[in-house]
Amino acid sequence: MIVVFGSVNVDFVTRVAALPAPGETVSGPSYAVMGGGKGANQAWAAALGGARTVFVGAVGRDPFADMALADLVAAGVDLSAVTRTDAPTGAAFITVDEAGENMIAVASGANLLADPASLLGLGLGPGDTLLLQGELSAAASASAAAHAKAAGARVVFNAAPVSGFDASCLSDIDILVVNASEALAVARLLGTPEADPDAAARAIDAAGTACVVTLGGEGVIGWWSGVRRKVEAFPISVVDTIGAGDAFCGGFTAALDRGYGFSGALLRGAAAGAAACTGPGARGGSPDRASVERLVGATAL
């Protein structure tokens, strides 16, 4: 079982020619409203990856809540531990440029009320994985990590954004997943500043937590017990990169859940991230198990 304790948002996505600079206004022709939130996106991708998945989080009592969760229902994610609160459902305001790059501002809303006590009835234990991100309160995620670790479950933390990551809980985390800038930031928090993400991941691994760095078009690096793995990026035609890191996390943990080792899971996470970039929005691509294995098989030939 994979339990995702994390955020759920409704995403407002606008395509523009170029991303705005500070103080600049840019215009796009229209906008789309879609389900999002790093936690919900990761739960969706884990379920499509074939894992029994439970999502734990908080939404409002507004119409955005059901819209944000609809894809998870369709993917078979267990939502019985999602709480409804009086705060508004989280929302993300996203601009995407012609190359598919994005900028995101999030209004957290109900996500800040997600309660780690909701994990208590789920029976997390050995063989299970708790998957966390940085969009809840850092204290809530740290408490969830401590609970899962004490229960013998595997803990995977995607420190995105780093502001939602409490470095003092690193000893409760088995695998940290970060992008390049997050890798540098976490290494700084640990008192081991490094100049490049690969060295930062190595330092984090040396501190006792395996570390994965997603590098977009440069692929993925993973450090585990002093050994480095590199997975090259899959050749795909990018629609946008929204949620690529989330699909990586979902596909990666789903592969671990199916019994793959670190290297096999890195490969499948990278394939899921690539598949997610081939459709619009955070849940627009198809990081399902069949698509992932097709990409992995095509690469192996």
User: Among 227, 219, 122, 133, which Cα is nearest to 173's?
Assistant: 133
104 lies in the binding site for ligand RIB (CB under 6 A) = yes
71 lies in the binding site for ligand RIB (CB under 6 A) = no
Report the C-alpha gap between 156 and 39 in whole angstroms: 12
C-beta atoms surrounding 199 within 10 Å: 16
Give the x/- contact pattern for ligand RIB in 126-165, rule: CB under 6 A.
---------x------------------------------
Stretch that binds ligand RIB, among 6-14, 195-203, 204-212, 291-299 (CB under 6 A): 6-14
Among 37, 251, 269, 285, binds ligand RIB (CB under 6 A): 37
Stretch that binds ligand RIB, among 151-159, 176-184, 227-235, 239-247 (CB under 6 A): 239-247
243 lies in the binding site for ligand RIB (CB under 6 A) = yes
Is 66 a catalytic site residue?
A: no
Residue 286 CB burial class (10 angstroms; 0-12, 13-18, ≥19): middle
First to last CA, the chain: 32
User: Among 148, 140, 184, which Cα is nearest to 165's?
Assistant: 140
| Backbone torsion region of residue 85, taken as left when φ is above 0, otherwise alpha when ψ lies between -120 and 50, otherwise beta | beta
User: Among 112, 156, 163, which Cα is nearest to 134's?
Assistant: 163
Q: In this chain, which residue has its C-beta nearest to ligand RIB?
A: 36
Among 6, 9, 147, 153, binds ligand RIB (CB under 6 A): 9
282 lies in the binding site for ligand RIB (CB under 6 A) = yes
Query: Active-site residue numbers?
Result: 246
- Residues forming contacts to ligand RIB in the complex (CB under 6 A) are 7, 9, 11, 36-38, 41, 92, 104, 106, 135, 242-243, 245-246, 282
